[in-house]
Structure 1
Amino acid sequence: MLCTSIETRRVEAVDAIGAVEWDDLVPPGELFCSYAWLRHLDEVAGPHPVLTISIGNRITGATALWDGEQTPGLFHLPEFFPKVPGPWQRTFVWLGARRSVRNGLICTAGPQRSATLAHLLAGSLDYARENGHVGVVMPYLPVSAARELGRAHPAAHVLLHAAEATVAVPPRGTADFVEHAGGHNRKRRLRELRDFAAADFTLEWVDLTVEIEAVIAPLIAATRRRYGSGQGVAWMLGVFAAQRRVGLLDHAKVLLCHRNGRLATVAVCYRHGDSLHGRYFGADEAVSRDGYPYFVTTCYAPIDYAAHNGLSRLFLSTSALEAKIRRGATVEPLAAVVLLDDGELDVEHVRAHNRDLAHGYRDRFSKYLSSLSRDWLDFCPDPNERPA
């Protein structure tokens, strides 16, 4: 039974809540749950409402709410669960940061946690019902978080739908990756780092100043355009300006990769807690790719930066997973929690979907099974592995 002393409240935007009060609930490393990240999204795209749960005068849980998207891409439910019967063509309320490919649970770690999560789901479903949506979905959650949230409501379901690349940062950075890699991957990494050095590239980590923004925004916008984004340089500069206003750039670092004095590639990373998140990448297509500048800029150099600064985890997002595996990353599953207003999903279809998706990743990365996290085994057991 839900605790009647808990209050559910909706506000128009996250700035109706204190930054310290909000961030006290955010797990370490979950950048896209943070107050500053949500504030900058509100400035760029307009405010999205927030649901909070409170006990007494203390907020114990919260989530942002947004409308998702109805076009194919990273936020299109018909592509998430193609073999699970459900109202995927209709509209849902999405929980978490707008267009984030990693979410987390913004919730107290205390004894009220389970009741808070239950009220978060129930309150979100009330909001969906009142606004004509068929249910709620919180996507791009680590499996452990998705399961915990799913247990908070008897009609909620956990469905796998994506994967991300992460790195447990070793003390000596890429030196440890090269030393401990096996066979072919060790030779590959040595060759790439050797060829990068021989190609006269230089690397420099700098703060994200207004002057640096003007230099890197065109490269980032051009790269995003090649992958289907219609937003240009002005939009990218607007994003950085919003991040500066809310203090997010205090946690940002830019990696500049030059060749013969010309900017070849750039990566923008953000620190949160003990983690580093790679977020934006840009490249000048006119500069030769000899020497592997993409892999050094997006993977090797951030690993070294994280190690040098005492960080323990690097998040490399959801794209180019095989390339990141070959350079030392682990592939971890991401799941969505789905709760319908009327009825439930079929349990057998959900199980089959999760099993098939997990099998698909095991087949896709059959040469790199040791680089798949153990979370996959819960959905797709290894027939050669004996129970502990």
Structure 2
Amino acid sequence: MTVERVPSLDDIAGGAWDDVADPRDMFQSRAWLRALEQSGEAPVTYLIARRPGHPRILGALPLYDSLPSRGDFLYWPELHFQDLLHAAGPPGGRLGLLAGSRAGFSTRLIVDRALPAATRTEVLRALRDAACAVAVERGLPYTFFLFLDASAWRDLAPVAGGGDHHRLASVAQTELELPGADFEDYLATLPRNTRTSVRREVGLFTRTCATETVPLREAVTTVAPMIVNVRAKHGMAYSVDAVTRRLAAYSSALGDAAATALLCRVRGRVVGAGVLCRWHDRLYVTDFGRLDDDGAPDPFVYFNATIYEPVKHAYAMGLSSVVTGAGAELGKARRGSAVLPLMHVAWAAAGDRPDRRIDTAPAETRRKHWSELRSAHPRYFHPVWDELL
């Protein structure tokens, strides 16, 4: 196995990348990663694994420098591994390398799925070793793989070393498979009481709000501050610049037809918005924004902008599922979404110091939280939770 460092996707043939990337995963696509690269949000190095003398890519790993000032909570490692970073004391505020596509939630591995399991492990071990070498060269203590889905963690677990750390994320992925052919078929799958509540929420929303779907490119300056407002109310640091860059990357990667903003207006004023990205047969709800005005009417704008209206759009476009994202997991689960676990992994670049004390309380608190939630609402949680809890 050889692992090459490549500074840009321009140096990788599109066909070679498409052969290894999962075609159903927007965040593995060359279009998304290329747009993110062009946005200049963070310097990137791509690790490409091949057999010597063969052009086919067996696995790939984007690596980004992580800085604490970026203000994007999704990829802010100190929120997820504060104990490790406090003990490591990274120089100059540099936190480590981020592995993956810096995309949203549910990160999946870019590895040839046609390979036997043992060979996939060989590929991932080679990529892991190469990532650790890059971290050592840059004087960084860790490589972080954030928001791995259960399948990715299952593949990655055999290459985890003795100095690695893994823990459940504090948020979970939610996805809604669309039954039948229209919104009524979706409603029919919900329990009677929930179905009655949803009809009420949809009815109040449609009586108060008018909706408009526009190309995301046209709404970035309107939507970005609203997204920042929502995150700030939940105590999450975010910057308008970081959101603007990410929304621009969506628009650049997908085009006007597939990257859209759902604007919710009350008396002509935009009070809420959802960001919708279509990729193959899936619709991603990547962001939600709300007007920074406590006096603005709120006729169930959140669930209409992030679930009901996206479900209607997905049916109209003949799609199979809606990725409803992370956060508000129980509210989304009651409305039909499956709750799927996510994992964080920290790869130690040069081994942990044996005398260092790591506070395990945050990780145990998260595990307890999910265990209690799953016990109280077992039907909302996918069986894959069993292997993690």
| TM-score, shorter chain, exceeding 0.5 | yes
Match of 1:138 in 2: 145
Match of 1:106 in 2: 110
Does residue 1:305 correspond to 2:300, yes or no? no
Task: State how many pairs are aligned.
Answer: 370
Q: Secondary structure at the match of 2:4?
A: strand
Contact 2:167 2:344 in 1 (8 A): yes
CA distance in 1, matches of 2:57, 2:273: 39
- Within the candidate set 254, 263, 268, 2:275 is matched to 268
Contact 2:23 2:29 in 1 (8 A): no
Q: Secondary structure at the match of 1:24?
A: helix
1:243 positional shift: 4.6
- Within the candidate set 268, 282, 293, 2:289 is matched to 282
Contact 1:170 1:307 in 2 (8 A): no
1:59 positional shift: 1.8
1:289 positional shift: 3.0
Does residue 1:332 correspond to 2:327, yes or no? no
RMSD of the TM alignment (CA)? 3.5
Contact 2:215 2:261 in 1 (8 A): yes
- Within the candidate set 259, 264, 270, 2:266 is matched to 259
Q: Which runs of 5+ in 2 are unaligned?
A: none
Q: Which runs of 5+ in 1 are unaligned?
A: 1-5, 381-388
Does residue 1:127 correspond to 2:131, yes or no? no
CA distance in 2, matches of 1:375, 1:93: 28
Does residue 1:16 correspond to 2:11, yes or no? yes
1:117 positional shift: 1.5
Q: Secondary structure at the match of 1:49?
A: strand
CA distance 1:221–1:74, shift in 2 (3 Å): closer
1:73-126 C-alpha deviation (Å, 9 max, x unpaired): 544545435788995654432211236433111111233533222211111111
Contact 1:85 1:345 in 2 (8 A): no
1:230 positional shift: 5.5
- Which one-letter code corresponds to 2:211 in the other structure? L
CA distance in 2, matches of 1:377, 1:86: 31
1:281-326 C-alpha deviation (Å, 9 max, x unpaired): 2233557434212210111111222233232232222222232223
1:129 positional shift: 1.8
1:150-174 C-alpha deviation (Å, 9 max, x unpaired): 2135545543223222212222454
1:1-388 pair list within 5 angstroms:
6-44=1-39, 45-55=41-51, 56-70=54-68, 73-77=73-77, 79-80=79-80, 89-90=89-90, 91-98=95-102, 100-111=104-115, 112-155=119-162, 158-162=166-170, 163-172=172-181, 174-199=183-208, 201-210=209-218, 212-213=219-220, 216-217=223-224, 219-220=226-227, 222-223=229-230, 228-229=236-237, 231-232=239-240, 239-286=246-293, 288-343=296-351, 357-364=366-373, 366-380=375-389
1:356 positional shift: 5.8
CA distance in 2, matches of 1:350, 1:119: 30
Contact 2:132 2:350 in 1 (8 A): no
Q: Secondary structure at the match of 2:136?
A: helix
Contact 1:68 1:76 in 2 (8 A): yes
- Which one-letter code corresponds to 2:328 in the other structure? A
CA distance in 1, matches of 2:321, 2:60: 25
Which deviates more from structure 2 when the two are superposed, residues 98-107 or residues 86-95? 86-95
